[in-house]
Structure 1
Amino acid sequence: MDNLNDLLDLLTELSNLIDSPNTDVTWSSFETVEDVLMTIDTLRQQLKIGDRAISELEILFGPTGSFQEISIDSGWGEKFLKLAARFDDIVGSK
C-alpha cells in the first residue's frame, strides 16, 4: 500500500482518541476500550507485515460502524467524520 504510513498514523490518532476514561463502547461491537485498542493494534501489525486488513477497517470506519458509534457516544463524532474522510482518501474508498 502506497499510503501505509498515513494509514498507520491515522490509526495511532484514533487509538489516542479512544484511549480515554470518557470513551463509551456501549453501542459498538466491542466489550471494552481495551478490546478496541487491541484490535487496532492487531490491525496495525497486520498492515505492517503486508496483510492489507482493509476490509475489516472499512467495516469499522463505515457509517454506523463501531468506530463511529464510539465517537458519537464519547463526544468526538465530528472529529471522527474527519478521520473517516482521511481513511477513505488513504484507502481509495468510494
Structure 2
Amino acid sequence: MEIKSKSEIIKYIDENQIPGINDKIRKIINIIELIKEFIINIESDLTWSNYKSEKEILIELDTMIQEFEEENFSRLLDLQAHFAPASEFQEISISSGWSEEFIVISKMFEDALITLIKEFDLKTYD
C-alpha cells in the first residue's frame, strides 16, 4: 500500500460517500475504513497492542461500522479510546510505520467525533 498524504487522507474522509448514511456518521465510518486499509495493506506489528491478530482487529472494526450504519453508538467510547494517546491504534501505527498518517487521521476523528456528539447529543470521555 502506498502511504497516503495528508491531503489524500482528508479527501477520503471528507468526500467518500455512503448512500443513505448521515454525513456525521459517514465521516466516522470513513475513518474506521481508513484504519482498516492501513491494517490490511501494511504488515501490522501488534506487539504493543492487546490484539492477537489482524483478523481480530478487522472483526471489531467491521462490527463498529455496522453498528454506526444502524445509528447504534453503544461502542463509541471504545472507538474513542482507540484514538487516545498511547492507544491501540497509535501503538500499531508507530510500530507499523504509519504514525504520521495516524496523527492526521486521529485529528480528523476528533473533529468528526465532536460533530457527531452535537448531532446526536451523545456522551463520551471528556
What's 2:35 paired with? 14
Aligned match for 1:23, one of 39, 44, 49? 44
CA distance in 2, matches of 1:40, 1:33: 11
Counterpart of 1:90, as a letter, is A
Task: Tell me if 1:56 matches 2:78.
Answer: yes
Corresponding residue of 1:67: 89
Aligned-residue sequence identity (percent) comes to: 28
* 1:24 to partner: Cα distance: 0.8
Matched, 1:45 2:66: yes
For structure 2, the 5+ residue unaligned runs are 1-21, 115-123
TM-score, L = length of structure 1: 0.92
RMSD: 1.6
Q: Which deviations, in whole Å up to 9, do the C-alpha atoms of 1:40-89 show, x marking residues without a partner?
A: 11111111112112101011111111000000000000100110000000
Larger Rg: 2
Q: Which runs of 5+ in 1 are unaligned?
A: none
- Say yes or no: does 1:91 pair with 2:117: no
* TM, length-normalised to structure 2: 0.69
